[in-house]
C-alpha cells in the first residue's frame, strides 16, 4: 500500500554561487503550476529569496524551502546559498535531504563549491544527480562540462540526456533511456521517438554505452544482455535506480532554468529514481546508547528542528523534518534540549515566505511550525518519556570576527537579545564577550556572512550599531626578578590604615599564570592577612602593566612585612601588595606578550607552497603538513593572532575559494619590539 511517505521526495539543490539553483527552483514551481510566471533573482521576486538582504545583493543568503505537488508526489525542495560563507546552510540541507541535485554551470563547468559540496554529500552517502544548466547560453558545451565532471568525480558519472542543440539553438533533450526526444516550443513540451538527424548516430552510441554500464549493476540483467536479449526501459530504469541508491552511479541531465527547458523532465526523473524517505537508511539517535530510527509513519513521533527563521508577521518559524511517526496539529512533544513540553499549535506547508496550515504530517515530510515556546536550530522534539536525541550538526568554528556595540546606551539590552536570536536562527554564527578587551564580537565563516548578519540585525530589530576591528588581547610580564616593598599608610584621626609587605617578583615560563607564595616568618604579617597581599597583587595585575595590558606568568613571594595591631586590615595589605607590584614594574619593566593561534589550512597540494610562504610573511612558524585526501594537504602552523584577523578573506582570494581554515588559541609568546 502506498503511503504519503512513499510519495515524498526531499531534494536539496546544491552548487556554486551563480549556477542558477534559485532560478531552477523558480522554473520547477512554474512547471508545477505554483506560480504563473517565474521570478528572477535580479528582480528580487523569486519565491525562495525572501529577505531584503537577498534582494539587495541579488543572491541567496539563507536556506529556502518550497513544498509543492508534482503529480502524485510531494516535493520538498531545499535551496541553500551557493556562496562559501553560507556553507552551514548547505550542510543543513544535506542533513535533511534524501537526494542532492547538483546544478552545474553549462558554460563555466565545475567550480569550487561544486567540488566541496560533492565531497560532503559523498561522505554522507547521499544519492546525487547532476543537472547541467544554462545550455541556452553562448559558449555552453555539454561535452566539455561532462568531461570535466567525469575527470573530477569518476566513471560513475552517467549521462541520461543529450542536448538537442546548444546556446541559442538549444531546444530540448534526447532521453538516452527511452531514445525519445523532448522538444520545447514556447514552454510546451513535445515528445517524439524521431531523433533529429544531427544527433541520431551519437544518441544511439551513447544509449549503448548507458545500457552497457547499467546492466552491470544487476547480475541477472547482465546475463540477459550478454545472451543477446533485449533490455526493456523498465529494466534499465530499475537497475539505474539501484545503482543510484547505492552511490555507484550519478545520472547527468541537462536543460535551461531560465527557459524552463527540461525542468519537467528533471522533476519526473527525480520522482522515479530518487529514494522515498522510507527507503533511505535510518538516522542515528542518542538516548540510552546509540540507536537507529527508521522513517516509519506508524512509529513513535520524532521530529528534528533543522532551521529556525524569524518572520516579521508570525514570529519564529521552525522548519521541522518528521523523522518517524505521524504528527498532528496540537500534538505535544518534548524539546529534549530544554525538557519543556511544546504544543505544535500550527503545522504549515512552507512555500518561501508563504505558509498554509495543515492538520497532519507523516514521517519523511518537512513542515513548518509556529508559536513554539523555546526552540532553536538543532533541537529534537520527542514523545513524553523518550530519551532519544538527534545529534546536532557539527559546524566549522567561525574564523572571522567584527566587534559590535549599540550606538545608543538604551539599545544595549536590546542588542544582547537580538544577537541571541540571530545565533538561535544561525548556529554557524558565534557571539562572545571578551572580558579583557570589553568587546562584543560576532564571528562567522567570513566577512560576507558577518556583514549580512549585522545588516539583518539592524533591519529586524531597529538597532543602530557601531563596529570596529577585534582588539588583540595582549598581555605583559616582568622582565626580571626583583624585590620591592609595598607600604600603605593612612592616618586621618581615629582608626587608620597600615600595611607593609616585602615581595620578591619573578617571571614564570610562558602560560604558567600567577603563583603566590608565603615565606614570612615570626608573624610579621598575621596569617589571616597574608592572602590579602596576594589578592592585591592579582588585582593590580589585572589593571595592567606599563602598556596597559594585564600581567601574567608571575610568581610573587611575600618575604617580610609589618603590621599594626589596630590599623592593619585586609584592605591595607591588599594595597601593600598592589604597591609592591607597581614598584617592581617601575624597577625592571615589562615585556609585551601576544596571543598565538594554532592554524590549520587545508588546500589543494598545488597551493601548498603559496600558503606556506604567506604564513611565513605573517610571522608564522610552520609545524608540519598532513595529507588530507583527494589531492589536498593540511598545513599546520603557529601564527600570531594579530596576523590572522584578516586571513579568512585573504585565504579565499589566494586560493580562489579552495582553502579551508581552522583557528584556535594556542599560547602567548613575546611580541617583537616594533622597528
CA 111 to chain centre: 19
pLDDT digits (tens, 9 = 90+) for 222-280: 888 888 888 899 999 999 999 999 999 999 999 999 999 999 999 999 999 999 999 99
CB neighbours (10 Å) of residue 467?
12
Asked if 562 and 500 count as a contact pair (C-beta separation under 8 A), the reply is: yes
For residue 1, the model assigns a pLDDT of: 40
CA nearest to 446, candidates 398, 397, 396, 394: 398
CA nearest to 472, candidates 672, 673, 641: 641
Asked if 267 and 28 count as a contact pair (C-beta separation under 8 A), the reply is: yes
Joined grid coordinates for residue 371: 508559536
Range list of H helices, 33-134: 52-57, 87-96, 112-123
Let me know the angle formed at the C-alpha of 377 by 372 and 382, rounded to the nearest 5 degrees.
60
For residue 3, the model assigns a pLDDT of: 61
**Burial status of residue 378 (CB atoms within 10 A of its CB: 0-12, 13-18, 19 or more):** buried
Q: Where are the beta strands (DSSP E) in 230-345?
A: 250-254, 283-287, 289-293, 302-311, 315-324, 326-328, 332-335, 341-343
- Mark the ranges of the chain whose per-residue pLDDT is less than 70: 1-3, 187, 493-494, 674-675
Query: How do the residues of the chain divide into helix, strand and coil, expressed in percent and rounded to 5?
Result: 30, 35, 35
For residue 4, the model assigns a pLDDT of: 87
Q: Given phi > 0 = left and psi -120 to 50 = alpha, else beta, which region is 609?
A: alpha
CA nearest to 240, candidates 249, 228, 232: 249
For residue 194, the model assigns a pLDDT of: 85
For residue 675, the model assigns a pLDDT of: 46
Amino acid at each position: 500500500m502506498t503511503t504519503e511517505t512513499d510519495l515524498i521526495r526531499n531534494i536539496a539543490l546544491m552548487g556554486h554561487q551563480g549556477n542558477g539553483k534559485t532560478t531552477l527552483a523558480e522554473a520547477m514551481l512554474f512547471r508545477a503550476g505554483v506560480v504563473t510566471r517565474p521570478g528572477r533573482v535580479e528582480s528580487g521576486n523569486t519565491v525562495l529569496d525572501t529577505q531584503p538582504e537577498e534582494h539587495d545583493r541579488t543572491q541567496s543568503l539563507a536556506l529556502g524551502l518550497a513544498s509543492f505537488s508534482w503529480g502524485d508526489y510531494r516535493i520538498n525542495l531545499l535551496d541553500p546559498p551557493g556562496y562559501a560563507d553560507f556553507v552551514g546552510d548547505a550542510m543543513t540541507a544535506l542533513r535533511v535531504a534524501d537526494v542532492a541535485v547538483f546544478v552545474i554551470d553549462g558554460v563555466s563547468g565545475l567550480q569550487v563549491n561544486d567540488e566541496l559540496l560533492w565531497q560532503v554529500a559523498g561522505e554522507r552517502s547521499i544519492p546525487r544527480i547532476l543537472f547541467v544548466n544554462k545550455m541556452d547560453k553562448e559558449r555552453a558545451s555539454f561535452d566539455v562540462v561532462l568531461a570535466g565532471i567525469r575527470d573530477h568525480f569518476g566513471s560513475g558519472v552517467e549521462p541520461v540526456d543529450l542536448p538537442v542543440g546548444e546556446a541559442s539553438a538549444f531546444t530540448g533533450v534526447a532521453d538516452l533511456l527511452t531514445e525519445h526526444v523532448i522538444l520545447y516550443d514556447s514552454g510546451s513540451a513535445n515528445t517524439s521517438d524521431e531523433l533529429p538527424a544531427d544527433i541520431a548516430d551519437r544518441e544511439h552510441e551513447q544509449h549503448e554505452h548507458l545500457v552497457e554500464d547499467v546492466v552491470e549493476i544487476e547480475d541477472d540483467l547482465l546475463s540477459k544482455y550478454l545472451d543477446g536479449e533485449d533490455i526493456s526501459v523498465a529494466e534499465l530504469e530499475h537497475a539505474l535506480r539501484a545503482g543510484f541508491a547505492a552511490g555507484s552511479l550519478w545520472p547527468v541531465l541537462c536543460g535551461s532554468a531560465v527557459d524552463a527547458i527540461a525542468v519537467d523532465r528533471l522533476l519526473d526523473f527525480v520522482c522515479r529514481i530518487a529514494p522515498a524517505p522510507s527507503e533511505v537508511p535510518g538516522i542515528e539517535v542518542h538516548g540510552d546508547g546509540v540507536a537507529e530510527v527508521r522513517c516509519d509513519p506508524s512509529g513513535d513521533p520524532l521530529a528534528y528542528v533543522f532551521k529556525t527563521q524569524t518572520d516579521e508577521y508570525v514570529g519564529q518559524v521552525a522548519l521541522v523534518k518528521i523523522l518517524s511517526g505521524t504528527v498532528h496539529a496540537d500534538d505535544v512533544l518534548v524539546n529534549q534540549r530544554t525538557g519543556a513540553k511544546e504544543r505544535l499549535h500550527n503545522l504549515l506547508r512552507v512555500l518561501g515566505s508563504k505558509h498554509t496550515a495543515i492538520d497532519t504530517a507523516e514521517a519523511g515530510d518537512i513542515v513548518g511550525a509556529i508559536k513554539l515556546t523555546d526552540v532553536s536550530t538543532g533541537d529534537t522534539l520527542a514523545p513524553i518519556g523518550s530519551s532519544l536525541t538527534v545529534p546536532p550538526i557539527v559546524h566549522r568554528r567561525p574564523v572571522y570576527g567584527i566587534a559590535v556595540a549599540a550606538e545608543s546606551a538604551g539599545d544595549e539590552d536590546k542588542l544582547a537579545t537580538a544577537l541571541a536570536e540571530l545565533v538561535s536562527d544561525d548556529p554557524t554564527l558565534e557571539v562572545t564577550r571578551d572580558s579583557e578587551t570589553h568587546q562584543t564580537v560576532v564571528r562567522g565563516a567570513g566577512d560576507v556572512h558577518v556583514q549580512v548578519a549585522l545588516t539583518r540585525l539592524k533591519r529586524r530589530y531597529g538597532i543602530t550599531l557601531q563596529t570596529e576591528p577585534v582588539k588583540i588581547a595582549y598581555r605583559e610580564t616582568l622582565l626580571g626578578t626583583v624585590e620591592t616593598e609595598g607600604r600603605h599608610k593612612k592616618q586621618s584621626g581615629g582608626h587608620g590604615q597600615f600595611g607593609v609587605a616585602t615581595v620578591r617578583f619573578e617571571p614564570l615560563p610562558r602560560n604558567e599564570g600567577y603563583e603566590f607564595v608565603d615565606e614570612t616568618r615570626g608573624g610579621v604579617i598575621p596569617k589571616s592577612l597574608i592572602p590579602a597581599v596576594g589578592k592585591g597583587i592579582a588585582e593590580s595585575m589585572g589593571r595592567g602593566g606599563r602598556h596597559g595590558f594585564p600581567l601574567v606568568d608571575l610568581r610573587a613571594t611575600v618575604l617580610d612585612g609589618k603590621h599594626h595591631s589596630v590599623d592593619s586590615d585586609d584592605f591595607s595589605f591588599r594595597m601593600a601588595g598592589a604597591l609592591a607590584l607597581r614598584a617592581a614594574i617601575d624597577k625592571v619593566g615589562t615585556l609585551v606578550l601576544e596571543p598565538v593561534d594554532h592554524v590549520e589550512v587545508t588546500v589543494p597540494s598545488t597551493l601548498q607552497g603559496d600558503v606556506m610562504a604567506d604564513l611565513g610573511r605573517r610571522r608564522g612558524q610552520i609545524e608540519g603538513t598532513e595529507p588530507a585526501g583527494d589531492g589536498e594537504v593540511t598545513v599546520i602552523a603557529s601564527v600570531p593572532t594579530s596576523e590572522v584577523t584578516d586571513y579568512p578573506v585573504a585565504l579565499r582570494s589566494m586560493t580562489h575559494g579552495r582553502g579551508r581554515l581552522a583557528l584556535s588559541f594556542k599560547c602567548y609568546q613575546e611580541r617583537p619590539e616594533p622597528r
